Structure 1
Amino acid sequence: MRWELGRRSSNVEDRRGSGGISAPVVGGGIGTIVLALIVTLLGGDPSVILQQGQVESDRTSQQAPQTRQDGASDRMADFVSVVLADTEDTWTNLFRQTGQNYVEPKLVIFSNAVRSACGSANSAVGPFYCPRDQKVYIDLKFYQDLKYKYNAPGDFAQAYVVAHEVGHHVQNLMGISKKVQTLQRQVSRTEANQLSVRLELQADCFAGVWANHANKARQILETGDVDEALNAASSIGDDRLQSQSTGQIVPDSFTHGSSAQRVRWFKRGIQTGQPAQCNTFAAANP
Protein backbone atom coordinates (compact mmCIF):
# COMPACT_ATOMS: atom_id res chain seq x y z
CA MET A 1 0.00 0.00 0.00
CA ARG A 2 1.39 3.39 -0.99
CA TRP A 3 0.82 5.46 2.12
CA GLU A 4 4.06 7.20 3.15
CA LEU A 5 3.40 10.35 1.12
CA GLY A 6 -0.21 10.65 2.30
CA ARG A 7 -1.62 13.45 4.40
CA ARG A 8 -1.56 12.97 8.19
CA SER A 9 -4.80 13.50 10.09
CA SER A 10 -5.05 16.05 12.88
CA ASN A 11 -7.79 13.95 14.53
CA VAL A 12 -5.53 11.42 16.24
CA GLU A 13 -5.31 11.26 20.03
CA ASP A 14 -2.25 9.36 21.24
CA ARG A 15 -2.99 8.15 24.76
CA ARG A 16 -0.15 5.68 24.93
CA GLY A 17 2.00 6.18 27.98
CA SER A 18 -0.73 8.07 29.84
CA GLY A 19 -0.68 5.53 32.63
CA GLY A 20 -2.84 2.55 33.46
CA ILE A 21 -6.51 2.85 34.31
CA SER A 22 -8.64 0.54 36.34
CA ALA A 23 -10.23 -1.13 33.35
CA PRO A 24 -12.75 -3.93 33.27
CA VAL A 25 -12.09 -7.40 32.01
CA VAL A 26 -14.93 -8.50 29.75
CA GLY A 27 -16.15 -11.87 30.98
CA GLY A 28 -18.59 -14.68 30.39
CA GLY A 29 -19.64 -16.96 27.55
CA ILE A 30 -16.98 -18.79 25.58
CA GLY A 31 -14.05 -17.07 27.21
CA THR A 32 -13.04 -13.52 28.00
CA ILE A 33 -10.87 -12.69 25.04
CA VAL A 34 -12.70 -14.71 22.38
CA LEU A 35 -16.13 -13.43 23.39
CA ALA A 36 -14.90 -9.86 23.43
CA LEU A 37 -13.40 -10.30 19.99
CA ILE A 38 -16.49 -11.89 18.49
CA VAL A 39 -18.83 -9.29 19.95
CA THR A 40 -16.73 -6.15 19.59
CA LEU A 41 -13.91 -6.96 17.19
CA LEU A 42 -14.16 -4.44 14.38
CA GLY A 43 -17.62 -3.59 15.53
CA GLY A 44 -20.32 -1.03 16.32
CA ASP A 45 -21.44 0.28 19.68
CA PRO A 46 -19.52 -1.70 22.30
CA SER A 47 -21.21 -0.06 25.28
CA VAL A 48 -23.33 -3.06 26.17
CA ILE A 49 -20.49 -5.56 26.24
CA LEU A 50 -18.14 -3.08 27.86
CA GLN A 51 -20.53 -2.23 30.65
CA GLN A 52 -21.75 -5.70 31.58
CA GLY A 53 -20.00 -8.60 33.23
CA GLN A 54 -17.20 -6.37 34.42
CA VAL A 55 -14.67 -7.32 37.07
CA GLU A 56 -11.79 -5.21 38.18
CA SER A 57 -8.45 -6.05 36.61
CA ASP A 58 -5.76 -5.53 39.21
CA ARG A 59 -3.02 -6.36 36.77
CA THR A 60 -4.20 -3.68 34.37
CA SER A 61 -4.48 -0.98 36.99
CA GLN A 62 -1.03 -1.84 38.38
CA GLN A 63 0.79 -1.74 35.09
CA ALA A 64 3.51 0.85 34.85
CA PRO A 65 2.89 3.70 32.42
CA GLN A 66 4.46 3.26 29.04
CA THR A 67 6.91 6.13 28.79
CA ARG A 68 8.31 5.59 25.30
CA GLN A 69 7.33 4.06 22.00
CA ASP A 70 9.67 2.03 19.83
CA GLY A 71 10.26 2.85 16.18
CA ALA A 72 7.82 0.23 14.92
CA SER A 73 5.03 1.60 17.09
CA ASP A 74 5.70 5.15 15.97
CA ARG A 75 5.64 4.08 12.34
CA MET A 76 2.34 2.27 12.88
CA ALA A 77 0.87 5.36 14.55
CA ASP A 78 1.99 7.36 11.53
CA PHE A 79 0.34 4.77 9.28
CA VAL A 80 -3.07 4.87 10.96
CA SER A 81 -2.95 8.67 10.89
CA VAL A 82 -2.52 8.56 7.11
CA VAL A 83 -5.33 6.01 6.69
CA LEU A 84 -7.64 8.11 8.85
CA ALA A 85 -6.84 11.21 6.79
CA ASP A 86 -7.60 9.27 3.64
CA THR A 87 -11.00 8.20 4.96
CA GLU A 88 -11.68 11.83 5.85
CA ASP A 89 -11.00 12.94 2.29
CA THR A 90 -13.11 10.14 0.82
CA TRP A 91 -16.17 10.50 3.02
CA THR A 92 -16.10 14.29 3.04
CA ASN A 93 -16.36 14.20 -0.75
CA LEU A 94 -19.07 11.52 -0.76
CA PHE A 95 -21.18 13.36 1.81
CA ARG A 96 -20.75 16.62 -0.09
CA GLN A 97 -22.12 14.98 -3.23
CA THR A 98 -25.40 14.37 -1.40
CA GLY A 99 -25.51 17.85 0.14
CA GLN A 100 -24.45 16.66 3.60
CA ASN A 101 -21.63 17.59 5.94
CA TYR A 102 -19.22 14.88 7.05
CA VAL A 103 -18.18 15.21 10.68
CA GLU A 104 -14.71 13.71 11.05
CA PRO A 105 -14.24 11.16 13.85
CA LYS A 106 -11.32 11.09 16.24
CA LEU A 107 -8.99 8.10 16.41
CA VAL A 108 -7.60 7.22 19.83
CA ILE A 109 -4.41 5.16 20.04
CA PHE A 110 -4.04 3.51 23.44
CA SER A 111 -1.99 0.84 25.14
CA ASN A 112 -3.40 -1.88 27.41
CA ALA A 113 -6.58 -0.11 28.50
CA VAL A 114 -8.69 2.94 27.72
CA ARG A 115 -11.73 4.82 28.96
CA SER A 116 -14.31 5.91 26.38
CA ALA A 117 -17.78 7.42 26.52
CA CYS A 118 -19.07 3.87 25.97
CA GLY A 119 -17.21 2.52 29.00
CA SER A 120 -13.76 1.24 29.89
CA ALA A 121 -12.03 -1.46 27.88
CA ASN A 122 -8.76 -3.32 27.73
CA SER A 123 -6.91 -4.40 24.63
CA ALA A 124 -8.70 -7.77 24.50
CA VAL A 125 -11.83 -6.23 22.96
CA GLY A 126 -9.93 -5.24 19.83
CA PRO A 127 -10.54 -2.03 17.85
CA PHE A 128 -13.95 -0.45 18.38
CA TYR A 129 -16.03 2.60 17.58
CA CYS A 130 -17.92 4.49 20.25
CA PRO A 131 -20.86 6.48 18.82
CA ARG A 132 -21.30 8.42 22.05
CA ASP A 133 -18.05 10.32 21.56
CA GLN A 134 -17.63 9.60 17.82
CA LYS A 135 -14.19 8.10 18.33
CA VAL A 136 -12.40 5.02 17.02
CA TYR A 137 -10.21 3.23 19.58
CA ILE A 138 -7.29 0.96 18.78
CA ASP A 139 -4.36 -0.58 20.61
CA LEU A 140 -1.74 -0.94 17.90
CA LYS A 141 -0.67 -4.29 19.36
CA PHE A 142 -3.86 -5.64 17.78
CA TYR A 143 -2.05 -5.62 14.46
CA GLN A 144 0.34 -8.25 15.81
CA ASP A 145 -2.66 -10.45 16.56
CA LEU A 146 -4.04 -9.77 13.10
CA LYS A 147 -0.77 -10.93 11.55
CA TYR A 148 0.18 -13.88 13.72
CA LYS A 149 -3.00 -15.06 15.45
CA TYR A 150 -5.40 -14.53 12.57
CA ASN A 151 -2.88 -15.03 9.76
CA ALA A 152 -3.86 -11.76 8.10
CA PRO A 153 -0.64 -9.81 7.49
CA GLY A 154 -0.14 -6.74 5.33
CA ASP A 155 -0.56 -3.01 5.57
CA PHE A 156 -3.79 -2.97 3.58
CA ALA A 157 -5.28 -5.51 5.98
CA GLN A 158 -4.40 -3.03 8.71
CA ALA A 159 -5.96 -0.17 6.75
CA TYR A 160 -9.14 -2.24 6.36
CA VAL A 161 -9.46 -2.36 10.15
CA VAL A 162 -9.48 1.44 10.41
CA ALA A 163 -11.76 1.83 7.38
CA HIS A 164 -14.27 -0.62 8.87
CA GLU A 165 -14.46 1.30 12.14
CA VAL A 166 -14.86 4.55 10.24
CA GLY A 167 -17.67 2.77 8.39
CA HIS A 168 -19.46 2.52 11.72
CA HIS A 169 -18.98 6.26 12.16
CA VAL A 170 -20.60 6.80 8.76
CA GLN A 171 -23.53 4.64 9.89
CA ASN A 172 -23.80 6.73 13.03
CA LEU A 173 -23.90 9.99 11.06
CA MET A 174 -26.54 8.55 8.73
CA GLY A 175 -28.73 7.49 11.64
CA ILE A 176 -28.49 3.83 10.67
CA SER A 177 -26.92 2.67 13.93
CA LYS A 178 -29.63 4.29 16.05
CA LYS A 179 -32.40 2.71 13.99
CA VAL A 180 -30.79 -0.73 14.33
CA GLN A 181 -30.40 -0.36 18.09
CA THR A 182 -34.06 0.63 18.40
CA LEU A 183 -35.14 -2.43 16.41
CA GLN A 184 -32.87 -4.71 18.40
CA ARG A 185 -34.70 -3.80 21.60
CA GLN A 186 -37.98 -4.95 20.04
CA VAL A 187 -36.99 -8.39 18.77
CA SER A 188 -35.57 -11.67 20.01
CA ARG A 189 -31.88 -12.25 20.69
CA THR A 190 -31.49 -14.21 17.47
CA GLU A 191 -33.15 -11.48 15.42
CA ALA A 192 -31.07 -8.83 17.19
CA ASN A 193 -27.94 -10.74 16.26
CA GLN A 194 -29.07 -10.86 12.64
CA LEU A 195 -29.47 -7.09 12.64
CA SER A 196 -25.99 -6.76 14.11
CA VAL A 197 -24.61 -8.92 11.30
CA ARG A 198 -26.20 -6.67 8.67
CA LEU A 199 -24.75 -3.61 10.41
CA GLU A 200 -21.26 -5.12 10.43
CA LEU A 201 -21.45 -6.25 6.81
CA GLN A 202 -22.47 -2.76 5.78
CA ALA A 203 -19.39 -1.39 7.56
CA ASP A 204 -17.30 -3.89 5.59
CA CYS A 205 -18.92 -2.63 2.40
CA PHE A 206 -18.26 0.99 3.40
CA ALA A 207 -14.60 0.05 3.95
CA GLY A 208 -14.58 -1.22 0.38
CA VAL A 209 -16.17 2.01 -0.85
CA TRP A 210 -13.33 3.94 0.78
CA ALA A 211 -10.72 1.72 -0.89
CA ASN A 212 -12.35 2.24 -4.29
CA HIS A 213 -12.33 6.04 -4.07
CA ALA A 214 -8.95 6.28 -2.37
CA ASN A 215 -7.32 4.26 -5.12
CA LYS A 216 -8.99 6.26 -7.89
CA ALA A 217 -7.93 9.54 -6.32
CA ARG A 218 -4.51 8.66 -4.93
CA GLN A 219 -3.49 5.28 -6.42
CA ILE A 220 -2.81 3.73 -3.04
CA LEU A 221 -3.16 0.08 -4.04
CA GLU A 222 -0.26 -2.19 -4.89
CA THR A 223 -0.27 -5.78 -6.09
CA GLY A 224 -1.70 -8.06 -3.41
CA ASP A 225 -3.32 -5.32 -1.32
CA VAL A 226 -6.91 -6.29 -2.07
CA ASP A 227 -6.11 -9.91 -1.27
CA GLU A 228 -4.72 -8.78 2.09
CA ALA A 229 -7.98 -7.04 2.97
CA LEU A 230 -10.09 -9.97 1.78
CA ASN A 231 -7.97 -12.34 3.84
CA ALA A 232 -8.43 -10.13 6.91
CA ALA A 233 -12.19 -10.02 6.39
CA SER A 234 -12.27 -13.80 6.05
CA SER A 235 -10.05 -14.39 9.07
CA ILE A 236 -12.39 -12.58 11.45
CA GLY A 237 -15.66 -14.12 10.26
CA ASP A 238 -17.82 -15.41 13.11
CA ASP A 239 -17.76 -18.94 11.78
CA ARG A 240 -13.98 -19.07 11.70
CA LEU A 241 -13.60 -17.48 15.14
CA GLN A 242 -16.13 -19.85 16.67
CA SER A 243 -14.54 -22.88 15.03
CA GLN A 244 -11.12 -21.89 16.32
CA SER A 245 -12.32 -21.19 19.86
CA THR A 246 -14.89 -23.91 20.52
CA GLY A 247 -14.85 -26.23 17.53
CA GLN A 248 -18.53 -25.49 16.96
CA ILE A 249 -20.31 -23.03 14.68
CA VAL A 250 -23.58 -21.50 15.91
CA PRO A 251 -25.03 -19.22 13.18
CA ASP A 252 -27.77 -17.86 15.45
CA SER A 253 -25.07 -16.33 17.64
CA PHE A 254 -23.26 -14.57 14.78
CA THR A 255 -22.89 -10.82 15.35
CA HIS A 256 -20.49 -9.86 12.55
CA GLY A 257 -21.16 -12.30 9.73
CA SER A 258 -19.46 -15.34 8.27
CA SER A 259 -16.12 -15.17 6.48
CA ALA A 260 -17.86 -15.53 3.12
CA GLN A 261 -20.32 -12.74 3.92
CA ARG A 262 -17.62 -10.33 5.04
CA VAL A 263 -15.56 -10.98 1.92
CA ARG A 264 -18.60 -10.61 -0.35
CA TRP A 265 -19.66 -7.24 1.03
CA PHE A 266 -16.17 -5.78 1.09
CA LYS A 267 -15.86 -6.83 -2.55
CA ARG A 268 -19.15 -5.13 -3.40
CA GLY A 269 -17.93 -1.89 -1.86
CA ILE A 270 -14.54 -1.87 -3.55
CA GLN A 271 -15.98 -2.89 -6.92
CA THR A 272 -18.83 -0.37 -7.04
CA GLY A 273 -17.57 2.51 -4.92
CA GLN A 274 -21.20 3.37 -4.20
CA PRO A 275 -22.53 3.60 -0.63
CA ALA A 276 -26.03 2.91 -1.97
CA GLN A 277 -24.83 -0.56 -2.98
CA CYS A 278 -24.11 -1.32 0.68
CA ASN A 279 -27.73 -1.67 1.79
CA THR A 280 -27.33 -4.98 3.59
CA PHE A 281 -30.71 -4.48 5.26
CA ALA A 282 -32.52 -4.80 1.94
CA ALA A 283 -30.72 -7.99 0.95
CA ALA A 284 -32.73 -11.19 1.31
CA ASN A 285 -29.59 -13.17 2.13
CA PRO A 286 -26.79 -10.86 3.20
Structure 2
Amino acid sequence: MRWKGRRGSTNIVDRRGRGSVTRGAGGLGFGGLLLVLAIGWFFGIDVTPLLQGGGGASVQTEQRRELTQAEIEQGQFVSVVLADTEEIWAEIFARQVDGPYDPAELVLYSGVTASPCGNASGATGPFYCPADERVYLDTEFFTTLEQQMGAGGDFAAAYVVAHEVAHHVQNELGILGEANRIRRQVSQEESNAISVRIELQADCYSGMWARRAQERFGTLERGDLEEAINAAKQIGDDYLQRRAGRVPAPHTFTHGTSEQRARWFARGYEQGDIRACDTFGAERL
Protein backbone atom coordinates (compact mmCIF):
# COMPACT_ATOMS: atom_id res chain seq x y z
CA MET A 1 0.00 0.00 0.00
CA ARG A 2 1.38 3.40 -0.99
CA TRP A 3 0.85 5.78 1.91
CA LYS A 4 4.15 7.30 3.05
CA GLY A 5 4.65 11.00 2.40
CA ARG A 6 0.92 11.62 2.08
CA ARG A 7 -1.32 14.01 4.02
CA GLY A 8 -2.50 12.88 7.42
CA SER A 9 -5.78 13.71 9.13
CA THR A 10 -6.17 16.39 11.79
CA ASN A 11 -9.06 14.41 13.29
CA ILE A 12 -6.77 12.20 15.36
CA VAL A 13 -6.84 12.18 19.15
CA ASP A 14 -3.71 10.40 20.33
CA ARG A 15 -3.97 9.08 23.90
CA ARG A 16 -1.16 6.59 23.59
CA GLY A 17 1.64 6.69 26.09
CA ARG A 18 -0.70 7.54 28.93
CA GLY A 19 -3.60 5.96 30.77
CA SER A 20 -4.27 3.09 33.13
CA VAL A 21 -2.65 -0.29 32.72
CA THR A 22 -4.06 -3.46 34.27
CA ARG A 23 -1.46 -5.78 35.72
CA GLY A 24 -2.05 -9.42 36.59
CA ALA A 25 -3.47 -11.06 33.47
CA GLY A 26 -3.86 -14.47 35.06
CA GLY A 27 -0.69 -16.02 33.67
CA LEU A 28 -1.67 -15.82 30.00
CA GLY A 29 1.26 -15.97 27.63
CA PHE A 30 1.61 -13.33 24.93
CA GLY A 31 0.08 -15.56 22.27
CA GLY A 32 -2.77 -16.60 24.56
CA LEU A 33 -3.41 -12.99 25.50
CA LEU A 34 -3.68 -11.91 21.87
CA LEU A 35 -6.02 -14.78 21.05
CA VAL A 36 -8.32 -13.94 23.98
CA LEU A 37 -8.41 -10.30 22.86
CA ALA A 38 -9.15 -11.26 19.27
CA ILE A 39 -11.99 -13.59 20.24
CA GLY A 40 -13.43 -10.91 22.54
CA TRP A 41 -13.51 -8.36 19.75
CA PHE A 42 -14.86 -10.61 17.03
CA PHE A 43 -17.64 -12.03 19.21
CA GLY A 44 -18.46 -8.63 20.71
CA ILE A 45 -17.83 -9.58 24.34
CA ASP A 46 -15.74 -7.95 27.03
CA VAL A 47 -13.10 -10.46 28.09
CA THR A 48 -11.61 -8.25 30.80
CA PRO A 49 -12.61 -10.76 33.53
CA LEU A 50 -10.56 -13.42 31.76
CA LEU A 51 -7.56 -11.15 31.72
CA GLN A 52 -7.90 -10.35 35.40
CA GLY A 53 -8.54 -13.89 36.67
CA GLY A 54 -6.35 -16.88 37.23
CA GLY A 55 -4.81 -16.11 40.59
CA GLY A 56 -3.33 -12.88 41.79
CA ALA A 57 -4.84 -9.47 42.24
CA SER A 58 -5.43 -7.07 39.38
CA VAL A 59 -4.05 -3.58 39.93
CA GLN A 60 -4.52 -0.56 37.71
CA THR A 61 -1.72 1.99 37.61
CA GLU A 62 -1.21 5.20 35.69
CA GLN A 63 1.66 5.11 33.23
CA ARG A 64 3.27 7.62 30.92
CA ARG A 65 5.88 6.56 28.43
CA GLU A 66 7.50 7.55 25.17
CA LEU A 67 5.99 6.05 22.05
CA THR A 68 8.10 3.51 20.23
CA GLN A 69 9.18 4.13 16.67
CA ALA A 70 6.77 1.42 15.55
CA GLU A 71 3.89 3.14 17.34
CA ILE A 72 4.81 6.46 15.78
CA GLU A 73 4.74 4.93 12.31
CA GLN A 74 1.46 3.14 13.04
CA GLY A 75 -0.05 6.45 14.10
CA GLN A 76 1.13 8.09 10.88
CA PHE A 77 -0.29 5.21 8.86
CA VAL A 78 -3.71 5.42 10.53
CA SER A 79 -3.71 9.20 10.07
CA VAL A 80 -3.13 8.88 6.32
CA VAL A 81 -5.82 6.21 5.95
CA LEU A 82 -8.26 8.37 7.90
CA ALA A 83 -7.43 11.38 5.71
CA ASP A 84 -8.15 9.26 2.64
CA THR A 85 -11.56 8.24 4.02
CA GLU A 86 -12.37 11.89 4.67
CA GLU A 87 -11.65 12.98 1.11
CA ILE A 88 -13.28 9.95 -0.46
CA TRP A 89 -16.50 10.07 1.55
CA ALA A 90 -16.81 13.83 1.11
CA GLU A 91 -16.66 13.22 -2.65
CA ILE A 92 -19.11 10.29 -2.54
CA PHE A 93 -21.58 12.28 -0.43
CA ALA A 94 -21.37 15.21 -2.84
CA ARG A 95 -22.08 12.94 -5.82
CA GLN A 96 -24.42 10.31 -4.42
CA VAL A 97 -26.03 11.78 -1.30
CA ASP A 98 -26.26 15.46 -2.25
CA GLY A 99 -25.14 16.58 1.16
CA PRO A 100 -21.97 17.26 3.20
CA TYR A 101 -19.97 14.58 4.94
CA ASP A 102 -18.98 15.38 8.53
CA PRO A 103 -15.91 13.21 9.25
CA ALA A 104 -15.39 11.18 12.40
CA GLU A 105 -12.57 11.64 14.86
CA LEU A 106 -10.32 8.68 15.61
CA VAL A 107 -8.91 8.02 19.07
CA LEU A 108 -5.61 6.14 19.23
CA TYR A 109 -4.95 4.58 22.60
CA SER A 110 -2.92 1.86 24.26
CA GLY A 111 -4.09 -0.19 27.20
CA VAL A 112 -7.43 1.26 28.32
CA THR A 113 -9.28 4.49 27.63
CA ALA A 114 -12.76 5.85 28.28
CA SER A 115 -15.54 6.41 25.76
CA PRO A 116 -19.26 7.27 26.05
CA CYS A 117 -19.94 3.73 24.81
CA GLY A 118 -17.93 2.20 27.66
CA ASN A 119 -14.27 1.64 28.33
CA ALA A 120 -12.14 0.87 25.29
CA SER A 121 -9.46 -1.75 25.77
CA GLY A 122 -7.66 -4.52 23.97
CA ALA A 123 -10.58 -6.70 25.06
CA THR A 124 -13.10 -4.63 23.11
CA GLY A 125 -10.99 -4.12 19.99
CA PRO A 126 -11.56 -1.37 17.40
CA PHE A 127 -15.07 0.07 17.46
CA TYR A 128 -17.17 3.07 16.47
CA CYS A 129 -19.06 4.95 19.17
CA PRO A 130 -22.06 6.84 17.75
CA ALA A 131 -22.48 8.76 21.02
CA ASP A 132 -19.40 10.89 20.31
CA GLU A 133 -18.93 9.94 16.63
CA ARG A 134 -15.43 8.62 17.23
CA VAL A 135 -13.55 5.50 16.19
CA TYR A 136 -11.47 3.92 18.97
CA LEU A 137 -8.38 1.95 17.98
CA ASP A 138 -5.47 0.36 19.80
CA THR A 139 -2.97 -0.25 17.00
CA GLU A 140 -1.77 -3.36 18.84
CA PHE A 141 -4.82 -4.93 17.24
CA PHE A 142 -2.92 -4.95 13.94
CA THR A 143 -0.49 -7.39 15.57
CA THR A 144 -3.41 -9.55 16.67
CA LEU A 145 -4.83 -9.46 13.16
CA GLU A 146 -1.56 -10.63 11.64
CA GLN A 147 -0.19 -13.04 14.22
CA GLN A 148 -3.37 -14.62 15.55
CA MET A 149 -5.87 -14.24 12.72
CA GLY A 150 -3.62 -14.74 9.70
CA ALA A 151 -4.59 -11.43 8.14
CA GLY A 152 -1.36 -9.50 7.79
CA GLY A 153 -0.43 -6.62 5.52
CA ASP A 154 -0.86 -2.87 5.64
CA PHE A 155 -3.96 -2.91 3.45
CA ALA A 156 -5.61 -5.41 5.80
CA ALA A 157 -4.95 -2.90 8.60
CA ALA A 158 -6.33 -0.10 6.41
CA TYR A 159 -9.48 -2.19 5.86
CA VAL A 160 -10.00 -2.30 9.64
CA VAL A 161 -9.87 1.51 9.81
CA ALA A 162 -12.11 1.88 6.75
CA HIS A 163 -14.65 -0.57 8.20
CA GLU A 164 -14.99 1.40 11.45
CA VAL A 165 -15.23 4.68 9.54
CA ALA A 166 -17.96 3.02 7.46
CA HIS A 167 -20.05 2.74 10.62
CA HIS A 168 -19.73 6.53 10.93
CA VAL A 169 -20.93 6.82 7.33
CA GLN A 170 -23.95 4.72 8.31
CA ASN A 171 -24.49 7.06 11.23
CA GLU A 172 -24.29 10.11 8.97
CA LEU A 173 -26.88 8.57 6.65
CA GLY A 174 -29.23 7.80 9.56
CA ILE A 175 -28.96 4.06 8.95
CA LEU A 176 -27.09 3.09 12.10
CA GLY A 177 -29.38 4.92 14.50
CA GLU A 178 -32.53 3.44 12.98
CA ALA A 179 -31.07 -0.08 12.87
CA ASN A 180 -29.99 0.10 16.50
CA ARG A 181 -33.39 1.49 17.51
CA ILE A 182 -35.08 -1.54 15.99
CA ARG A 183 -32.53 -3.90 17.54
CA ARG A 184 -33.55 -2.72 21.00
CA GLN A 185 -37.17 -3.72 20.34
CA VAL A 186 -36.76 -7.25 19.00
CA SER A 187 -35.49 -10.62 20.19
CA GLN A 188 -31.79 -11.42 20.53
CA GLU A 189 -31.85 -13.58 17.40
CA GLU A 190 -33.56 -10.84 15.37
CA SER A 191 -31.13 -8.28 16.77
CA ASN A 192 -28.21 -10.44 15.70
CA ALA A 193 -29.64 -10.66 12.17
CA ILE A 194 -29.86 -6.87 11.97
CA SER A 195 -26.30 -6.61 13.27
CA VAL A 196 -25.14 -8.85 10.42
CA ARG A 197 -26.72 -6.47 7.90
CA ILE A 198 -25.04 -3.50 9.59
CA GLU A 199 -21.63 -5.15 9.43
CA LEU A 200 -21.95 -6.40 5.85
CA GLN A 201 -22.97 -2.93 4.72
CA ALA A 202 -19.88 -1.53 6.44
CA ASP A 203 -17.82 -4.10 4.54
CA CYS A 204 -19.44 -2.97 1.30
CA TYR A 205 -18.71 0.68 2.11
CA SER A 206 -15.11 -0.36 2.83
CA GLY A 207 -14.94 -1.81 -0.66
CA MET A 208 -16.20 1.49 -2.07
CA TRP A 209 -13.44 3.27 -0.18
CA ALA A 210 -10.80 0.88 -1.54
CA ARG A 211 -11.93 1.48 -5.12
CA ARG A 212 -11.85 5.27 -4.76
CA ALA A 213 -8.51 5.14 -2.91
CA GLN A 214 -7.03 3.42 -5.91
CA GLU A 215 -8.66 5.74 -8.44
CA ARG A 216 -7.85 8.94 -6.57
CA PHE A 217 -4.52 8.22 -4.91
CA GLY A 218 -3.13 5.12 -6.64
CA THR A 219 -2.99 3.51 -3.20
CA LEU A 220 -3.09 -0.18 -4.06
CA GLU A 221 -0.05 -2.29 -4.77
CA ARG A 222 0.03 -5.87 -6.00
CA GLY A 223 -1.70 -8.13 -3.49
CA ASP A 224 -3.38 -5.34 -1.49
CA LEU A 225 -6.92 -6.15 -2.52
CA GLU A 226 -6.32 -9.79 -1.66
CA GLU A 227 -5.09 -8.70 1.80
CA ALA A 228 -8.36 -6.91 2.51
CA ILE A 229 -10.51 -9.76 1.21
CA ASN A 230 -8.48 -12.25 3.25
CA ALA A 231 -8.99 -10.12 6.37
CA ALA A 232 -12.73 -10.07 5.72
CA LYS A 233 -12.72 -13.87 5.44
CA GLN A 234 -10.65 -14.36 8.59
CA ILE A 235 -13.19 -12.48 10.70
CA GLY A 236 -16.32 -14.25 9.49
CA ASP A 237 -18.50 -15.59 12.30
CA ASP A 238 -18.49 -19.13 10.96
CA TYR A 239 -14.70 -19.24 10.65
CA LEU A 240 -14.18 -17.82 14.14
CA GLN A 241 -16.64 -20.22 15.72
CA ARG A 242 -14.95 -23.20 14.06
CA ARG A 243 -11.58 -21.89 15.19
CA ALA A 244 -12.92 -21.71 18.74
CA GLY A 245 -13.92 -25.38 18.48
CA ARG A 246 -17.63 -24.69 18.09
CA VAL A 247 -20.15 -25.77 15.49
CA PRO A 248 -21.20 -22.59 13.63
CA ALA A 249 -24.59 -21.40 14.88
CA PRO A 250 -26.06 -18.91 12.36
CA HIS A 251 -28.59 -17.50 14.83
CA THR A 252 -25.68 -16.21 16.92
CA PHE A 253 -23.85 -14.54 14.03
CA THR A 254 -23.40 -10.78 14.41
CA HIS A 255 -20.98 -9.97 11.56
CA GLY A 256 -21.72 -12.46 8.79
CA THR A 257 -19.92 -15.47 7.36
CA SER A 258 -16.49 -15.32 5.77
CA GLU A 259 -18.04 -15.73 2.33
CA GLN A 260 -20.56 -12.95 2.94
CA ARG A 261 -18.00 -10.49 4.28
CA ALA A 262 -15.62 -11.03 1.39
CA ARG A 263 -18.44 -10.88 -1.17
CA TRP A 264 -19.94 -7.63 0.14
CA PHE A 265 -16.51 -6.00 0.28
CA ALA A 266 -15.94 -7.07 -3.33
CA ARG A 267 -19.41 -5.78 -4.29
CA GLY A 268 -18.58 -2.33 -2.95
CA TYR A 269 -15.24 -2.34 -4.73
CA GLU A 270 -16.71 -3.44 -8.05
CA GLN A 271 -19.77 -1.19 -8.11
CA GLY A 272 -18.69 1.88 -6.14
CA ASP A 273 -22.29 2.90 -5.46
CA ILE A 274 -24.00 3.37 -2.10
CA ARG A 275 -27.19 1.86 -3.52
CA ALA A 276 -25.34 -1.38 -4.26
CA CYS A 277 -24.59 -1.68 -0.53
CA ASP A 278 -28.22 -1.83 0.62
CA THR A 279 -27.93 -4.96 2.74
CA PHE A 280 -31.22 -4.11 4.47
CA GLY A 281 -33.13 -4.42 1.21
CA ALA A 282 -31.22 -7.45 -0.03
CA GLU A 283 -33.07 -10.77 -0.18
CA ARG A 284 -29.78 -12.70 -0.17
CA LEU A 285 -26.91 -11.78 2.08
- Shorter-chain TM-score above 0.5: yes
Any idea what the Cα deviations from partners look like across 1:14-40, whole Å, max 9, x if unmatched? 101222178xx9xxxxx9746632344
Flag the 1:75–1:133 CA change in 2: closer, same or farther, 3 A.
same
Partner of 1:122: 121
Cα distance between partner residues in 2 of 1:133 and 1:183: 20
Cα distance between partner residues in 1 of 2:39 and 2:178: 25
Paired residue total: 270
Partner of 1:225: 224
Which consecutive unaligned segments of at least 5 residues does structure 1 have? 26-30, 41-48
Flag the 1:136–1:171 CA change in 2: closer, same or farther, 3 A.
same
Partner of 1:91: 89
Any idea what the Cα deviations from partners look like across 1:166-209, whole Å, max 9, x if unmatched? 00000011110111112112222111101000000000000000
Flag the 1:88–1:150 CA change in 2: closer, same or farther, 3 A.
same
* Aligned: 1:215 with 2:219: no
* Aligned: 1:78 with 2:82: no
Partner of 2:32: none
Letter in 2 for 1:9: S
Q: Secondary structure at the match of 1:129?
A: strand
Which stretch shows the higher mean deviation, 186-195 or 199-208?
Answer: 186-195
Q: Secondary structure at the match of 2:135?
A: strand
Cα RMSD after superposing both structures: 2.3
Shift of 1:56: 11
Partner of 1:278: 277
Which stretch shows the higher mean deviation, 13-22 or 74-83?
Answer: 13-22
Cα distance between partner residues in 1 of 2:19 and 2:181: 37
Cα distance between partner residues in 1 of 2:64 and 2:266: 39
Cα distance between partner residues in 1 of 2:128 and 2:89: 17
Alignment map for 1:257-268 (pairs within 5 Å) = 257-268=256-267
Q: Secondary structure at the match of 2:113?
A: strand
Shift of 1:122: 1.6
Which stretch shows the higher mean deviation, 182-191 or 168-177?
Answer: 182-191
Q: Secondary structure at the match of 1:19?
A: strand
Flag the 1:80–1:241 CA change in 2: closer, same or farther, 3 A.
same
Whether the 8 Å CA contact 1:184–1:195 is kept in 2: the answer is yes
Partner of 2:41: 37
Which stretch shows the higher mean deviation, 238-247 or 128-137?
Answer: 238-247
Partner of 1:132: 131
Percent identity for Structure 1 against Structure 2 = 44
Letter in 1 for 2:67: Q
Flag the 1:258–1:273 CA change in 2: closer, same or farther, 3 A.
same
Letter in 2 for 1:225: D
Flag the 1:105–1:267 CA change in 2: closer, same or farther, 3 A.
same
Flag the 1:215–1:60 CA change in 2: closer, same or farther, 3 A.
farther
Partner of 2:2: 2
Q: Secondary structure at the match of 1:95?
A: helix
Cα distance between partner residues in 1 of 2:240 and 2:279: 22
Cα distance between partner residues in 2 of 1:164 and 1:276: 17
Flag the 1:190–1:35 CA change in 2: closer, same or farther, 3 A.
farther
Cα distance between partner residues in 1 of 2:249 and 2:210: 31
Cα distance between partner residues in 1 of 2:42 and 2:147: 17
Partner of 1:192: 191
Structure 1 segments, 4+ long, off by >6 Å, are 52-56
* Aligned: 1:18 with 2:18: yes
Letter in 1 for 2:79: S
Q: Secondary structure at the match of 1:7?
A: coil
TM-score (normalised: structure 2): 0.88
Letter in 2 for 1:95: F
Cα distance between partner residues in 1 of 2:245 and 2:81: 34
Partner of 1:168: 167
Q: Secondary structure at the match of 1:124?
A: coil
Shift of 1:143: 0.4
Letter in 2 for 1:7: R
Cα distance between partner residues in 1 of 2:81 and 2:182: 32
Cα distance between partner residues in 2 of 1:56 and 1:175: 36
Flag the 1:118–1:54 CA change in 2: closer, same or farther, 3 A.
farther
Q: Secondary structure at the match of 1:20?
A: strand
Letter in 2 for 1:263: A
Shift of 1:5: 2.6
Q: Secondary structure at the match of 1:187?
A: coil
Letter in 2 for 1:121: A
Whether the 8 Å CA contact 1:60–1:112 is kept in 2: the answer is no
